[in-house]
Structure formats: structure tokens, C-alpha cells
Amino acid sequence: MNAAIEAKIIRLRGILDDSDMYLGPPASPADIVVLTNAVSIELSVSLPYEYLEFLQMFDGLVACGVFIYSSRSRVMPGADTLCPNFVEMNYLSRDIDFMKDFLVFACSDQDEYVLDLKRGKYQVRDRQAFDNVNEEFNSFDGILAFMVDLIGQRS
């Protein structure tokens, strides 16, 4: 993960209290192995290295209506809410046939943050009109920076 993005996340953690931001603890090596194996078996793809780096530092992030999926379900402190886990969310999204061409890394109240597997592009897509691509990036770090900046704007 890009050091500038990490610094922004840490800065946001300093600004937002626990009720406004959940930042997961680092995923363990076992969490990463379980996740990568499950994604390979259940979704028939490999996860990008940058996403795995993010998880090894912050296993999930929820703030200001943005949910970045974790390696496994995690209960957020002070709430009965779970930080959504990557495999479950992607498994659910694949109930719609065309979603097999996408990996979903996160969502917000308005958008989904995906990797278009056919084009190899990370995209911000409208949740209601999924065909609308609002932003496009060449790397996971690009879309992660977009999400972190959105949290910063909303905080």
C-alpha cells in the first residue's frame, strides 16, 4: 500500500472517533491464506497484492458511509454491525450473473468499488445504475486513494 494513503488513513483515525470510524486490526498471515484460498476456489481469481497489503495493515475500514471489505467478518466495537467480509460480499453479488466479471472491494451509499476482470481496471460504479462508471484506475491503490479521499471529504 502506498505510504501516502496509509498516512491519510492514520490521519483520519486521529480525527474520527470510534463511533465514526472502524479500522480493523492487521489481518494475520492465517487470515490472508484463508482469504486467498477461498477467493481462488470460490471465485476463481487471485487478489491484487495491493489489496492484501491493505488488509495486512488494516483489515477492513468503515467510515462516513464507505465500507472497505475485510478478510473475514469482524464485529465493530460498540455496535452489533459487522464489517463486511470480501468473500461473502462477492459471493452475494454474484447472484447476478454479469457480476462474475467483477470483484467488489467496497461499497458506499452511492457507489460500488470494483475490479472489472475483463478490462483489468478498477472502477467506481453507481450502485443504482451499475453500467455508469464514475471513475477508473489502473491499480487498487488508485481506487483506495479515491475512497480514502471521499471519507476525508465527508468527515
The ranges assigned to domains in the chain are 3-97+139-154
Supply the DSSP string of 102-147, one letter for each residue. EEEEEEESSEEEEEETTTTEEEEEESSSTT-EEEEESSHHHHHHHH
Question: pLDDT for 76-88, tens place per residue?
Answer: 666 666 678 999 9
pLDDT at 81: 63
What's the CA dihedral at 28, 29, 32, 36 to 10 degrees? Answer: -160
Question: pLDDT for 129-138, tens place per residue?
Answer: 999 999 999 9
Rounded to two decimals, the pTM is 0.93
Question: Between residues 84 and 72, which one has the greater pLDDT?
Answer: 72
